[in-house]
Amino acid sequence: MKTLVMLQPRAGRKPSRHFSLLHLFIKFSYKVNKVLMVTTAIYGVHFGDEGKGKIVDYLAKDYDIVARWNGGDNAGHTVETQNSKIALHLIPSGILHKGKTNVIGNGVVINLASLKKEVEWLISNGIDVNRDSLMISDMAHLILPYYSGIEEKKELTRKIGTTKKGIGVAYSLKHDRSGIRLADMDDNNTFEERVKIHADEYGLNIDAKPLLAEQLSLLEWIKQHATIADTVKFFRENRNSDILLEGAQGFFLDVDAGTYPFVTSSHASPAGAYIGCLGIKRIDNVIGVMKACYITRVGFGPFVTELGGVTDASSKEESGLDEGDDASVGKYIRVKGREYGTTTGRPRRTGWQDIVATRHSVDVANIGSNFSLALTKIDVVDGMKKIKVCTKYKIDDRTLDHVPRSNHEMIKCRPLYRDFPWSPTNGIDEFEKLPQTARDYLEFLEAETGVRIGLISTGPKRDELIVR
């Protein structure tokens, strides 16, 4: 099935004549001679960790190119097969499919040691990584070993909740015009000059020569398994290919669109794909990925529907559920949903689904001709008799149906909930077979967001997926 087949207007809504004709033309083009090629962007609707890896993995079979546009090895995109669990950090999820070109775009920041480790792990597990399957932009910026130390020092005073992998430092130096790109590695003088700049500005004692030798050795190893190239030219020359763009983190962690300053240092909304994969001509489709019934967040920052239970999160063992106690519900979701960071192992904060935030994310991120939602982990709440959905915010005596633009207001928001009864959904592979309780809830989400739900994950495995 081609992606666009499922990106139809929601049942019950009257689409515009323009949308209808466009959709029919696209479908016709595919069926006849594949005249029209398609670019689709996948992004996280909330705070990251939505399950984008599984969705990209499913869609990748229909695309020629899969590309990452932002972030670094702080990302953790997980795919579960019948026999194994694969966690990807830098390499696009399309690497699990033969015959695809996977691109690490210019907007990604790269730790060469981490990349080498990831490639080694994939190869040792029978996944072919070669110069045809993996391409890296020569404009991507490096993360050097001392960046993490700088970030740790900053975290002591700022309390943002970063992964302390040097991601923010790499982006900061990039915009400070003293970063080091892969293309710069051809010139030893450039490398040494910029390391000296960093040493002077941060008061570090760094010997640039052995550091350069280490990085060049890593780079030479990586070049045996990947192509370092001008990806701007590559995208320009491959505009007649189907391209799947894979975002990292989530919308509310976007440095511009998110809950600033509690954000990542890159552009996590779909618009960032134009910057992080320079050469992309257009984005036809946007698919927003989110957890069906709840939201998670890692690190500090406002979280209106947070349930609590983080203090006892060190225990990953299931315990009794008291649906009348928020902390108990929060821990239940965390343990059953395995809500621990793929990269860091940190326990994730958990909270109920938030329609106000979801609607805002969808409205801003809807930059293509078609928009749909992909829902994950709907089965996590199967042990509950009811679920809650935040429909509005309350601040003092005011009721809001929109996201405040300032953190001091966001922190004061309290959720107004609507309850939905619940019945088990695990492993169901057809929408019509879902219990009526789940279908009522999903139809409510579609009505509130104004967009169609095209994919629903009903379990962790690769094939536990409903396609509409």
> Is 49 part of the annotated catalytic residue set?
yes
**DSSP secondary structure of 268-284:** -STTHHHHHTTT-----
Show the DSSP H helices in 65-183 as ranges.
Answer: 112-124, 147-158, 167-175
Identified catalytic residue from 23, 57, 73, 77? 77
d(CA 347, CA 298): 7
d(CA 35, CA 20): 18
d(CA 2, CA 62): 6
Query: Angle 112-124/208-223 helices, nearest 10 degrees?
Result: 30
Q: Nearest to residue 390, comparing CAs of 364, 425, 351? A: 351
> Is 23 part of the annotated catalytic residue set?
no
Residues 6+ away with beta carbon under 8 Å from 40: 3, 59, 63, 242, 243, 244, 245, 283, 284, 285, 286, 287, 368
Q: Nearest to residue 391, comparing CAs of 416, 373, 369? A: 416
Residue 104 phi, psi dihedral angles, 5° rounding: -95, 110
DSSP 236: H
Residues 6+ away with beta carbon under 8 Å from 457: 51, 54, 55, 292, 374, 375, 376, 377, 378, 464, 465, 466
Identified catalytic residue from 49, 57, 326, 354? 49
d(CA 388, CA 86): 32
The set of catalytic residues is 49, 77
